[in-house]
Structure 1
Amino acid sequence: MWPWGHLAVGYLAYALLRRRSGDYPTEHGTVALAFGTQAPDLVDKPLAWWFALLPNGRSLAHSVLIAGLVWIVVLAVARRLGQREVGAAFVVGYAFHLAGDALQPALAGNVADLAFLAWPVLPPVVYDGPGSFVGHFLGMELTPFLLFEFALVAVALACWVRDGAPGTARLRAQFG
């Protein structure tokens, strides 16, 4: 899944969870959520593609074993700081990033391609294609899954605007 797809899925999940409790997405929660939706790729892709420290761009931070530890630490720190909702928003974003990356292989029935979720217990998945950000963008193809991501972005954007564009208050105050 592309970064915008992760952000869209994460925001829709976060907004739905907030509404179920009678609330709306908050400023700080939305920022934490946005960071959480990108965190696994911000760790794994540079460490794999730039520094060759990981086997691929879906390994360490994409593993539910490591993610679980990150989530525990984030929630504990957030609780200690009195920012439980912010910590929870980060965890929602991170969890839905992993779910988003698992969706396409799961739908295709490629169970072996889900091994990244249990790295390093399971061996790393071997991916075809370029090992760089630029290479991936240049190789992007308009597939049904990519169109699905764009549709999710449109729905998430409409929801975010309807929610009052949370996460942008500081920017609006400075440039508004």
Structure 2
Amino acid sequence: MSRNPSRRWKRQIEDGTSVALIETPMWPWGHLAVGYLLYTLFSRVSIGRSPTASTTLAVAVGTQFPDLIDKPLAWTFGILASGRSFAHSLLIASSVIVLIFLVSRRQKRISLAIAFGIGYLSHLVADAVLPLARGEYQFIAFLGWPITRPPLDSEEMSFISQFMSMEFTPFFILQLVLGGVAAVVWWCDDAPGLQRLRRWTIHRGQRTE
């Protein structure tokens, strides 16, 4: 992992006149931790129980959804100008969540839509925390896309370059701590989804024999 500041994740302002330096992005495990902690708190307060296997999967998908859409479209296919734009927009997020809610209501699985929605929105909030703390308000413009346009990503930006720029900054360490806390809470919640994963693994193993 690089400790060279020149290898840190850089994003250039659209007019090209200045460059803002973000020491570390929000990593997948950080998003997952924040989303799960928020959802398990919601679940315990609102319905008095820990998350189920299904809602745990739904919140996990929600926490990763914006990056699964935007980053490949920006860094791999060049369709979007930024890895935080289309699916990171509050307009798009609200539309997706409402659509999933309507589908889930017809299937009588509203809890899945709620879990997904909490995971999705937690991702946007987590991405905005560092720019807000630094006063770099141009880097939360993704929330208003397409009305407001976020800065362009560097042309060299890719999944490999992002992981190569990984550094043990305070924000990175905070995400590791959050990941550890979330893992402990998940275990105390009776590890929702673990038994289902074990059954699926055993079943798959039996089919291949």
The normalised TM-score by structure 2 is 0.81
Give the whole-Å Cα distance in 2 for the aligned partners of 1:143 and 1:127.
21
Asked whether the equivalents of residues 45 and 58 of structure 1 are also in contact (C-alpha less than 8 Å), the reply is yes
Deviation of the 1:169 alpha carbon: 2.4
Deviation of the 1:129 alpha carbon: 7.8
Residue type of the alignment partner of 2:30? G
**1:113 aligned to 2:144?**
no
Equivalent in 34, 54, 57 of residue 9 of structure 1: 34
Residues 1-60 of structure 1: per-residue CA shift (max 9 Å, x gap): 100000000000000000102121111000011000000000000001111110110000
Once superposed, what is the RMSD of the aligned Cα atoms? 1.3
Aligned partner of residue 152 in structure 2, secondary structure: coil
Q: Which has the larger radius of gyration?
A: 2
Identity %: 48
Give the whole-Å Cα distance in 2 for the aligned partners of 1:109 and 1:128.
21
Give the whole-Å Cα distance in 2 for the aligned partners of 1:154 and 1:120.
36
Residue type of the alignment partner of 2:90? V
| Structure 2 counterparts to residues 63-142 of structure 1, below 5 A | 63-128=89-154, 130-142=156-168
Q: How many residues align?
A: 176
Q: Which runs of 5+ in 1 are unaligned?
A: none
Give the whole-Å Cα distance in 1 for the aligned partners of 2:170 and 2:154.
19
Equivalent in 68, 76, 90 of residue 50 of structure 1: 76
Aligned partner of residue 86 in structure 1, secondary structure: helix
Q: Which runs of 5+ in 2 are unaligned?
A: 1-25, 203-209
Aligned partner of residue 136 in structure 1, secondary structure: helix
The normalised TM-score by structure 1 is 0.96
Structure with greater proportional helix content? 1
